[in-house]
Amino acid sequence: MIVGNPTTQPDLLEQLDPKALGEELFEARKKAALTQADAAELLGVARTTITAIEAGERRIRPSELIKLATAYGRPFTSFIRPRPPIAAVAPQFRASFRIRPEWENELETAIASLEDMLKDYLELYQIAGLQPSLRYIPEYPISGLSVDTAAESVAVAERNRLGLGDGPVAQLRDVLEQEAGISVFMLKLPDWCSGMYLYSVQLGAIVAVNCNHPSERQRNTLSHEWMHFLTNRHAAEITDESPRGRLSFEERVAGEFPNHFLMPAVGIRRRVASLKQSTGTLSARGLIDLAAYYGVSVEALLRWLEDLKLLPSGTFDEAKRRGFPIRQIQKEAGIISPAERQDLLPLRFQQLAFQALQEGKIPEGRFAEVLRIDRPEARRITRVLRPDQEAAAPSTSMVAE
């Protein structure tokens, strides 16, 4: 660990690879939404100097790094602490960027943030002396099948493998993290972007979900990204639910998969029959209840019932035209869909950070950095996990929502 005043240790930066440090500074600047001109003004240098520093062609001085670290919202030590290298995230989405070039700019901040988290994730594994488990089930072969057959066959197989029967999946994120070994991050993404999927050779399957979307949409996104993992796991993918021309076979299968996985046809048919038997019809209240039971949107349920021939084609569009008051009925009846866990980081990531703190392998400040929490919250958690460091009453809540 490097301690002390960095300005009194002129050899610190001499030990670092200037190119690697330059890349770190470039990523941090982008994440802070600052331009090279902004950084140059902070240091009182020409913009070309910042270009040279970020390219690794000019070594940065300790006093300059302190100023930039402060401006970028990062501790000085986070730049001079060596972290394990990890494959860049952005290039893995090259195919998606070819489809929509503007995506690269619109997702730049989120991708840089995810890449930074993955570096911390890998570092925590190394601190613990562990390796991520990448022993996944084999991919499902779906070539030669129709879109619907491929989606249904994989959904049925996975439900059987996980012992889910034909009922709802209460906490899909937990299933993916704890049963399938997928690391799920909840990120702030542009509204048009539901989620992203990529496969890291070091950390395995990574899914990022838009934390600003409703829970029903998040569950749909989780299912969608999971299907990419199950059938084509080494191809990175960005999910955009707006129409964008002819979709690939894999994308159409992933789009169909959530219906079969979240609302298995056998269970849906039985429950619809039960509703009709008990009330004589499919009431608006009954359908909204059923959507909440499966944790899907009312639109997704009605369109699925249309596909299954349990409702006439065009039912949802007609209900929408007539102003079907979904939210009003939900509010008045107190109908609440199951919510997914909204933690920024995967549970395994958090567990590794807590373990490292408890064993004294990372200081409190670094703990706050990796979990993306403030220092008062980190100090409170430290008092709970390491009461020998500072006497204080334990708290029942560990990480702030």
At position 303, the amino acid (one-letter code) is R
Among 268, 271, 235, 279, CA closest to 254 = 235
At CA 118, angle to CA 116 and CA 123, rounded to 5?
100
Q: Residue 187 half-sphere exposure, CB side, CA atoms within 13 Å? A: 27
* pLDDT the model gives residue 33: 84
* pLDDT the model gives residue 55: 92
pLDDT in tens, the chain (401 residues): 333 444 434 456 677 778 888 888 988 888 788 999 999 999 999 999 999 999 999 988 888 998 998 898 877 777 877 777 888 899 999 989 988 899 999 998 899 899 989 999 999 999 999 999 899 999 999 999 999 999 999 999 999 999 998 889 989 999 999 999 999 999 999 999 999 999 999 999 999 999 999 999 999 999 999 999 999 999 999 998 776 567 889 999 999 999 999 999 999 999 999 988 877 777 778 888 899 999 998 889 999 999 999 999 988 888 778 777 776 666 766 767 778 899 999 999 999 999 999 899 988 888 998 999 888 888 888 887 777 654 333 333 344 33
Among 268, 197, 293, 193, CA closest to 237 = 197
* pLDDT the model gives residue 393: 37
Range 130-136, long-range pairs (CB < 8 A, 24+ positions)? 130/352, 132/202, 132/203, 132/204, 133/181, 133/204, 134/181, 134/204, 135/181, 136/180, 136/181, 136/204, 136/205, 136/229, 136/233
Helices (H), 93-248: 94-99, 102-106, 108-128, 147-162, 172-174, 215-232
First to last CA, the chain: 30
For residue 144, the SS3 value is: coil
User: Which helix or strand (DSSP H or E) is residue 328 part of?
Assistant: helix 326-333
Q: 194 — phi, psi (to 5°)?
A: -80, -35
**Exposure of 225 by Cβ count < 10 A (0-12 exposed, 13-18 middle, 19+ buried)?**
buried
* pLDDT the model gives residue 2: 37
Neighbours of 318 (CB within 10 A): 12
Cα–Cα distance list, 225 to 162, 247, 277, 350, 358 (Å): 17, 15, 37, 22, 34
Among 198, 193, 230, CA closest to 211 = 193
Q: Kindly list the strands in the beta sheet with 183-187, ordered across the sheet, starting from the edge strand earlier in the chain.
A: 183-187, 204-210, 193-200, 237-240
